[in-house]
Structure 1
Amino acid sequence: MYRQSYKSLRLVAHAQYLLECTKMKMHVFLVILVALARVSVQGFDLFGSSRSLVNNFEDARNYIETQKDKVIEEWSSYMEDIKLSSSWTNFLEDKENPSLEDPDVVLSVPAMITRRGYRCETHSLISQGYVLNIHRIPQARSGGDTPSNTVILQHGLFASSADWVLNGPGKSLAFVLADAGYDVWMPNIRGNRYSREHTTLKSSSTQYWNFSWHEVAQHDIPAIIDYIRERKGSDTKIAYMGHSMGSTMLFAMLALRPEYNAVLRAGLALGPVVYLSHIKSPVKTLAPVVANAARMNVIKNGELVPKQSGFGQMMSACSSDDVDTYVCKNAIFFICGTDEKQFNKTLLPVFLSHLGTGTSMKTILHFAQEIDAAGRFQQFDYGPTNNMKIYNSETPPEYDLRKITLPIYLLYSRNDLLSSEQDVDKLYQDWETRTEIYLVPDPEFNHVDYLMANDAPRLLNDKVLQFLLAAFADHQGPDRHMGTRESVRQYKASRKVLNT
């Protein structure tokens, strides 16, 4: 390799010397340089006798003249080879359309937010060694001061903060809440594409993936709340909103860390996933087998659904330009519930491109155990022997929902195959706290419609704004909340204009 590098340097040095001696034009120099390179690569040392030839100006002229025919021949051959190769590009006639059909398919969440005209920040913190990244929209698109009232939006399984922005301004809750006068924070769960790093562990190790939503609820969510309060002030009013697994972590956190009942101002659960005995999704049929395998410790822990897996490749295929809408759409409907009316065909590639970022096998096993737990909301089941070592009991302890005193708002739908009406009703009746419940007024509304429904403003967002307004007003009084009331009024007025 050293000899080849030295030969290349000799080639350039000789060609440059010719340029200086003969005062030839630059394009002639380049022609000679390319030709000489070609000859040299073929093993013919054009410079074998160059020292005796190129001693003065006349020798240089004579040298070039004698090599002219070879230079022309080599240059012509070289250009023909380029034309025949796939690397040839006609710089004057680029017929390919360079524009992305939908930029959100490939853009990161901060880029998705910024291109819509909103300011975006990324905040990082460490919890149990995991580097958690939170995306923040600190003000409305129109600008202004950062609001005091703060809302945490926590995504669900296999997802990221993209869930809260993929439906665009006017529909996605992150944009809606920002324009309504809230400071919006969107955490990314440990292990997903935005929170992949760890201070000491490799992401390929089983130790890295030794967590479920239990550890996130016990450590990460409190750390995120503390970070926001440290940055904005301990008197900052914070509401938490979680979709699917995001709601699971809310209830687990409030039971495990009851002190946060007094820190938060409200909790909103979209498609609550706590009790799972009556879910209607086909995934229920696999739960007993998976749950039993976990108790027997026969399933190796690690990452589930990385992009290179079969399921991950299916997701990549679905999100490509030649997306098979029918197949991919029905795969979602099969798991989450059918809803043709609220399904946005053009949004499917965006949704799928940000889905499947990976999570721990332990998280999936924990959910499988919940489905098979006969109405118990419990911690991870390691099997009788290991349970005795960890919990001092052969069965895992339940999360004590009686410790929850935070005002809770449950938002559910009848066609949600992953959050059944019966399970939500049990949750509503099961603990003593100030709670409100809202049934989405659309019989076909499913589990992903909370994120991408066509009629999200009418079916969901208006009720969310109403709940938040009440939650913050209860702690602030009517006068201090007039700013947010006016922002909500302006948001609704702007939505009416968009719909006309």
Structure 2
Amino acid sequence: MNVRLIVLIFALINVNFVQSLRRRVVAARRGQVSNPDEKLTVPAIISRHGYICETHTVVSQGYMLQLHRIPHAKYDNAVPRKTALLQHGLFGNSAHWILNGPRNSLAYVLADAGYDVWMANIRGNRYSKGHAWLQKDSQQYWDFSWHEIAIHDMPAILDYIKGVKSDSEIAYVGHSMGSTILFAMLSSRPEYNSYLESGVALAPMAFIKDIESPIIWLSSTVETVAPVEMRHGRHEFRPAVSSYVSDFVEPCTPEHFRTSSCKDMLFSLCGANERQFNSTLLPVFVNHLDMSTSWKTLQHFAQELDNEGEFQLFDYGSSNRRIYGTRKPPKYDLSKIKVPLALFWGMNDYVSVENDVQKLYDKLKTPSKMYAVSDPEFSHLDFLWAKDADVLINNRVLVYLNDENKLDIDVTSLEW
């Protein structure tokens, strides 16, 4: 090849590289998106990574709940599939199962391992805002806690999945409040034990007596403020605009995002783990936070904190006798849970702490296992975004599910 032509090609390649680098620098300075996942929807993110994504809608009490489904692995759709249902926690949505990339996100790991993966979205989040007849700013729309999600929405979701895959029992995985929903459903609607083959609770939330997070200081405030807010027609709690916490959470809002301040806030609430923290993922994670919930959900957790952390139904005060037939709200009857469970907890989790997880484990009558993640600094959010999530948690979850679901899948190559 002509030497001049080679030099010209080399120069053009370098010019393109420099221009590309310059565009990235300019975009960063302007605050533009550097990771495409930051602004994409869940189906778009999944498709961008080469997986099929389906969107399904389940109607429960008029709420239009959106499910995101990865029906098979990236390259293989011929294997008979077991079914996995993933339920996010408070202020979350289905994005939390996929934001850590194909290697480190549980949804992709399960799909590639032979599971038909369904990801639920709770009523009121960005994917499940719709309602057949209620206005989104009405009192009735936001009149729910995780109890209503557990006894109405999750059964409707399971019924729907069973309608699509009648021959498959389901493996349930819940993070934080996602596990609360599981425990409450199986205690209150025990007929749904037969739908599940196994359950995994990541950072389990049932008893919360020994919670170490500063959010415990907010419990008395919530108990005082929530009724006032609801009397004034404000039934949706939005931290970014709430006069009570807006200054505190501002660094973790897309409009005022500051990496260091946001990290410090999340670490203070959930537990710090510098080694597993991915600073480049944080703006993506923040953009996919659902910064709203019902005041009633917060009030329900606050009531538990005020009652020795007991796992109980919502306290309606003087209306308890009319609603429950008792002066105080009943406790959830965990003896009704029949599904084998695995409880995974982090040693540096300020929200789901060892003593409370141990109490839950001791109360369960079903065959259960309790695992501490091997990293001593592993915290509440590391289940979703840890750099080594594959080794520390996802592979262990996969091995447990394969064992419980009797899947003949080779896991000898997994790292530990």
Q: TM-score, normalised by structure 2?
A: 0.88
Asked if residue 189 in structure 1 is aligned to residue 116 in structure 2, the reply is: no
Asked if residue 265 in structure 1 is aligned to residue 197 in structure 2, the reply is: yes
Task: Tell me what 2:66 maps to.
Answer: 133
The code of the aligned residue for 1:271 comes to A
Q: CA deviation at 1:373?
A: 1.6
The code of the aligned residue for 1:244 comes to S
SS in 1 for 2:274: coil
Change (3 A) 1:133 1:322: closer
Asked if residue 286 in structure 1 is aligned to residue 218 in structure 2, the reply is: yes
Change (3 A) 1:312 1:130: farther
SS in 2 for 1:262: helix
Task: Tell me what 1:361 maps to.
Answer: 295
Tell me the matched-pair count: 386
In 2: Cα distance, 1:212 partner to 1:225 partner: 19
Asked if residue 422 in structure 1 is aligned to residue 355 in structure 2, the reply is: yes
Residue 384 of structure 2, aligned match among 438, 451, 457 = 451
Task: Name the % identity.
Answer: 50
Task: Tell me what 1:209 maps to.
Answer: 142
- 1:248–1:274 contact (8 Å) kept in structure 2: yes
Asked if residue 351 in structure 1 is aligned to residue 285 in structure 2, the reply is: yes
SS in 2 for 1:419: coil
Residue 405 of structure 2, aligned match among 465, 469, 472 = 472
Asked if residue 440 in structure 1 is aligned to residue 373 in structure 2, the reply is: yes
The code of the aligned residue for 2:216 comes to K
The code of the aligned residue for 1:374 comes to E
Residue 408 of structure 1, aligned match among 341, 349, 371 = 341
Give a deviation string over 1:348-385, Cα, whole Å, max 9, x none.
001111113411110011011111221421000111x1
Asked if residue 334 in structure 1 is aligned to residue 268 in structure 2, the reply is: yes
In 1: Cα distance, 2:412 partner to 2:374 partner: 22
- 2:248–2:265 contact (8 Å) kept in structure 1: no
Pick 1 or 2: higher relative contact order, CA cutoff 8 A, min separation 6: 2
Q: How does 1:232-271 map to 2 (within 5 A)?
A: 232-233=165-166, 235-271=167-203
Asked if residue 108 in structure 1 is aligned to residue 108 in structure 2, the reply is: no
Q: Which runs of 5+ in 2 are unaligned?
A: 1-22
- 1:315–1:353 contact (8 Å) kept in structure 2: no
- 2:347–2:354 contact (8 Å) kept in structure 1: yes
Bigger-Rg structure (1/2): 1
Task: Tell me what 2:133 maps to.
Answer: 200
The code of the aligned residue for 2:323 comes to I
Task: Tell me what 1:29 maps to.
Answer: none
The code of the aligned residue for 2:103 comes to G
SS in 2 for 1:242: strand
What is the RMSD computed on CA atoms of the aligned residues?
A: 2.3
Task: Tell me what 1:372 maps to.
Answer: 306
Give a deviation string over 1:81-126, Cα, whole Å, max 9, x none.
xxxxxxxxxxxxx997598411111111111111000110000010
SS in 2 for 1:169: helix
Q: TM-score, normalised by structure 1?
A: 0.73
Change (3 A) 1:100 1:256: same
Compare 298-307 and 350-359 and name the one that shifted more: 298-307
SS in 2 for 1:249: helix
Task: Tell me what 2:83 maps to.
Answer: 150
